[in-house]
Copies of this chain bind each other. A is one copy, B any other.
Amino acid sequence: MPKPPTADRRPPSADRLPPFLAACYRQPTPYTPVWFMRQAGRYMPEYRALRERYGLLELMREPDLAAQVTLLPLRLGVDALILFADILLPLEALGLTLHFLPGKGPVLEPRLTPDRVETLPLVDVHEALGFVFETVRRVRLEAPQTPLIGFAGAPFTVASYAIEGGSSRHYIETKGWMYHHPQAWDALMKRLVRVTLDYLKAQIDAGAQAVQIFDSWAGALSPGDYARYVKPHVQALLRGLQATGVPRIYFSTGTAGLLPLFQDLDAEVIGVDWRVPLGAAWEAVGRHHAIQGNLDPVALLAPREVLARQVDAVLAEARGQAGHIFNLGHGVLPETDPDQVAFVVEYVHERSSPLSADG
């Protein structure tokens, strides 16, 4: 397997890391680095043009196309790229079929049931998901100067799709597993951690210089349930990545009430949504973590002066301390004007630079 450029795989002590990677390690940076969740997506005309010709899964499974999409946000001036893929791809490797229905989101068939955990196939991620690693290699060759973030879903969030058969409002079936079938739940979490570890390690081997774990729906859980049924498995996943030497970002939404439980997670960076002040979130998770966030994605639809005010508010919460990575609190919405996204990149860089008059 061709090895990627290794220049950016230096240990945290090395200097001259790109700003995004330096910020992951809470090292000072010349400006606050910026990237956006779903920065390559439906809000971009170039992406929509590709989607007119290819299905969503087709775009992800064809490395040439997936790399092309991953690279699109370069023109916006972002400080990191993120692999174009989906957190549900590994479920296909576990024998579920994934569709995306217009207006309904992902659908997984058949729904996973407790009796089937032990019969899930043992997955060779290279065989089942090799196209993802090939995409990573191509992106690194095309944009060797820009850090590339790999990613995967966290075990709870991925399991919720498999168990509910898609998105969910109340997570009745998923919580039902926890409450009624705690052993099957534990077995499922362990299986997902193992597959996800293989999957992320292979992304890192292919050249990913950081990884983000999306626990997007952890906010559905009470702190007690999170601590009992979910956190041990998140921690196992994070610890399993320790030896790779790349920074780990743990992202979730709706978790303002869970943040103190993230204090001892082995992640360099905690990503938070816009429903909590960034400063309070940083205090709650502990200053030993870097923090990522947290502009409301809807703010990108606001008039320029309102948008600027909201960006300023996020930067003010971060107080210019080393270890802030600017991002949205969740993905860019399809309704967004790309010019607004480019404006935020430029504005954050300018306002956070020491050369800025009042930055």
Task: Give A residues with C-beta under 8 Å from B.
Answer: 170-172, 175-176, 179-180, 219-225, 254-258, 260, 274-277, 280-281, 296-299, 301-303, 306, 310, 313, 329, 333, 335
Residues of B contacting A254 with CB < 8 Å?
Answer: 219, 254, 275
The answer to whether A180 touches B303, judged by C-beta atoms less than 8 angstroms apart, is yes
CB distance from A328 to the nearest CB of B (A): 11
Question: Which residue in B176, B256, B335 is a CB contact (below 8 Å) of A276?
Answer: B256
CB distance from A145 to the nearest CB of B (A): 33
Residues of B contacting A335 with CB < 8 Å?
Answer: 172
Question: Which residue in B220, B277, B313 is a CB contact (below 8 Å) of A257?
Answer: B277
Nearest B-chain residue to A220, judged by Cβ: B275
Nearest B-chain residue to A280, judged by Cβ: B257
Contacts known (A219-B275, A256-B276, A257-B276); A303 close to B179, Cβ less than 8 A: yes
Residues of B contacting A281 with CB < 8 Å?
Answer: 257
Contacts known (A172-B301, A172-B333, A277-B257); A306 close to B179, Cβ less than 8 A: yes
How far apart sit A172 and B222, CA to CA, in the bound complex (Å)? Answer: 27
How far apart sit A92 and B109, CA to CA, in the bound complex (Å)? Answer: 41
How far apart sit A179 and B179, CA to CA, in the bound complex (Å)? Answer: 43
The answer to whether B256 touches A222, judged by C-beta atoms less than 8 angstroms apart, is no
How far apart sit A333 and B329, CA to CA, in the bound complex (Å)? Answer: 29
Residues of B contacting A275 with CB < 8 Å?
Answer: 219-223, 254-258
Contacts known (A256-B256, A275-B254, A280-B257); A225 close to B296, Cβ less than 8 A: yes
The listed residue with most B CB atoms (<10 A of its CB), out of A257, A258, A277, A281, is A257
Nearest B-chain residue to A226, judged by Cβ: B275
7 CB < 8 A contacts A-B: A170-B333, A175-B298, A175-B302, A223-B277, A225-B296, A255-B275, A257-B277
How far apart sit A175 and B176, CA to CA, in the bound complex (Å)? Answer: 35
Residues of B contacting A176 with CB < 8 Å?
Answer: 298, 301-302
How far apart sit A277 and B257, CA to CA, in the bound complex (Å)? Answer: 7
**Nearest 5 pairs between A and B by C-beta?**
A257-B276, A256-B257, A256-B256, A179-B302, A222-B274
Nearest B-chain residue to A330, judged by Cβ: B170
Residues of B contacting A329 with CB < 8 Å?
Answer: 222
The answer to whether B224 touches A310, judged by C-beta atoms less than 8 angstroms apart, is yes
Residues of B contacting A256 with CB < 8 Å?
Answer: 255-257, 275-276
The answer to whether B223 touches A276, judged by C-beta atoms less than 8 angstroms apart, is yes
Residues of B contacting A297 with CB < 8 Å?
Answer: 170
The listed residue with most B CB atoms (<10 A of its CB), out of A256, A297, A306, is A256
How far apart sit A303 and B181, CA to CA, in the bound complex (Å)? Answer: 10
Nearest B-chain residue to A272, judged by Cβ: B257
How far apart sit A276 and B219, CA to CA, in the bound complex (Å)? Answer: 10
Question: Which residue in B171, B276, B280, B313 is a CB contact (below 8 Å) of A298?
Answer: B171
Residues of B contacting A310 with CB < 8 Å?
Answer: 222, 224
The answer to whether A179 touches B301, judged by C-beta atoms less than 8 angstroms apart, is yes
How far apart sit A333 and B220, CA to CA, in the bound complex (Å)? Answer: 15
Nearest B-chain residue to A219, judged by Cβ: B275
Contacts known (A219-B275, A277-B223); A298 close to B180, Cβ less than 8 A: no
Nearest B-chain residue to A180, judged by Cβ: B303
Residues of B contacting A280 with CB < 8 Å?
Answer: 257, 260
Nearest B-chain residue to A306, judged by Cβ: B179
Q: A175-B296, A257-B275 are in contact. List 19 more A-B contacts (CB 8 A).
A: A170-B297, A172-B301, A172-B333, A176-B298, A176-B301, A179-B302, A180-B302, A219-B254, A221-B275, A221-B296, A223-B275, A223-B276, A223-B277, A254-B275, A255-B256, A256-B257, A256-B275, A257-B276, A258-B275
